[in-house]
Amino acid sequence: MIYFVTSNRGKMEEARAMLGMELSQMDIGYPEIQADTLEEVVIFGMKDLAGRLDGPVMIEDAGLFVDALNGFPGVFSAYAQKTIGNAGILRLMEGAKDRGASFRSVVGYAEPGEEVRLFRGELRGKIAFAPRGEGGFGYDPIFEVGGITVAEMGLQDKNRISHRGQSIGAMREHLSGRT
Q: Contact positions toward ligand IMP, by CB under 6 A?
A: 8, 61-63, 77-78, 81, 103, 136-140, 164
In the bound state with ligand IMP, the residue whose beta carbon lies nearer, of 74 and 177, is 74
Rounded to a whole number of angstroms, the minimum distance from the CB of residue 179 to ligand IMP is 32
* Cα 39 to Cα 129: distance, rounded to the nearest angstrom: 30
Rounded to a whole number of angstroms, the minimum distance from the CB of residue 117 to ligand IMP is 18
Angle at 61 between CA 57 and CA 67, to 5 degrees: 160
Cis previous bond, 141, omega within 30: no
In the bound state with ligand IMP, the residue whose beta carbon lies nearer, of 114 and 160, is 160
**Which residue is at the shortest CB distance from ligand IMP?**
138
Rounded to a whole number of angstroms, the minimum distance from the CB of residue 4 to ligand IMP is 12
Helices assigned H by DSSP within the chain = 9-19, 38-49, 77-83, 85-92, 155-161, 163-176
Catalytically annotated residue among 27, 61, 67, 140:
61
Amino acid at 100: G
In the bound state with ligand IMP, the residue whose beta carbon lies nearer, of 36 and 54, is 36
* Residue partners of 177: CB distance under 8 A and separation at least 6: none
Rounded to a whole number of angstroms, the minimum distance from the CB of residue 139 to ligand IMP is 4
Question: Active site includes 54?
Answer: no
Angle at 103 between CA 11 and CA 136, to 5 degrees: 40
Which positions are catalytic? 61
